[in-house]
């Protein structure tokens, strides 16, 4: 049976636009803050997972490529990926990496270190990224944009790899934003699972 299409099923396009804009100018990476704020706002004020269920561009991208286009091999997701220990550990690691981006940007602001125009994949592989009009903003803001784009791109690659091998939305089983918003929702509505 064919599932009904809704406008929000097309939100996967935002993921494509976002990562494409990073090739135009790295400063567009700052738009990624929307992906950090929106799920939190939905969880804090709505107390629900509506953002995850409908409006998350990454969730829709995984659904589109994995389910609709059939790019997922649909192997069962290993139990440990669902485990609270792994989800919590990955969330702490992810936000620690985000904290590292803030720290590096602060160091650039203090002129302790200089702006590094690279994209870092998987937290260790660096690629020079020269198409960036970083003079439009302070070096610290530009450094933050490089870091945020690196984090978003790394997590996108992990999400796509998990989608290809496991089920389409495997990433959502341990997505740091999903883990965080779920705990917020549970606190607001203790009966909600």
How is residue 52 annotated by DSSP?
A: I
Of 58, 63, 87, 167, the one binding ligand SF4 by CB under 6 A: 58
CB nearer to ligand SF4: give 43 or 132.
43
Backbone angles phi, psi at 166, to 5 degrees: -100, -145
Residue 155 host element (H or E):
helix 139-165
Q: How far is CA 148 from CA 24, 95, 113, 119, in A?
A: 15, 12, 18, 9
- 153 with 19: CB under 8 angstroms? yes
Binds ligand SF4 by CB under 6 A, chosen from 14, 64, 149, 171:
171
CB of 100 to ligand SF4, least distance (A): 20
Question: What residues between 97 and 156 interact with ligand SF4 by CB under 6 A?
Answer: none
Applying CB under 6 A, does 32 fall inside the site for ligand SF4? Answer: no
Name every residue whose Cβ is closer than 8 Å to that of residue 102 and which is 6 or more positions away in sequence. 144
Among 91, 142, 175, 185, indicate the residue that binds ligand SF4 (CB under 6 A): 175
Is 26 one of the binding residues for ligand SF4 (CB under 6 A)? no
* Residue 94 binds ligand SF4, judged by CB under 6 A: no
Q: Where on the chain is the footprint of ligand SF4 (CB under 6 A)?
A: 39, 52, 56, 58-59, 171-172, 175, 177-178
């Amino acid at each position: 049976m064919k599932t009904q299409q809704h406008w929000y099923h097309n939100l996967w396009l935002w993921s494509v636009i976002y990562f494409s804009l990073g090739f135009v100018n790295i400063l567009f990476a700052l738009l990624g803050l929307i992906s950090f704020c929106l799920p939190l706002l939905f969880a804090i004020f709505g107390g629900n997972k509506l953002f995850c269920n409908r409006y998350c561009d990454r969730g829709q991208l995984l659904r589109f490529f994995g389910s609709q286009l059939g790019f997922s091999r649909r192997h069962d997701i290993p139990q440990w990926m669902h485990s609270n220990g792994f989800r919590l550990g990955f969330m702490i690691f992810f936000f620690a990496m985000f904290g590292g981006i803030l720290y590096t940007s602060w160091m650039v602001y203090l002129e302790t270190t200089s702006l590094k125009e690279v994209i870092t994949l998987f937290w260790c592989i660096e690629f020079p990224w020269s198409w960036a009009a970083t003079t439009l903003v302070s070096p610290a803001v530009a450094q933050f944009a490089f870091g945020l784009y690196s984090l978003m791109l790394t997590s996108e690659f992990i999400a796509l790899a998990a989608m290809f091998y496991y089920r389409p939305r495997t990433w959502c089983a341990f997505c740091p934003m999903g883990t965080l918003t779920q705990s917020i929702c549970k606190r607001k509505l203790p009966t909600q699972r």
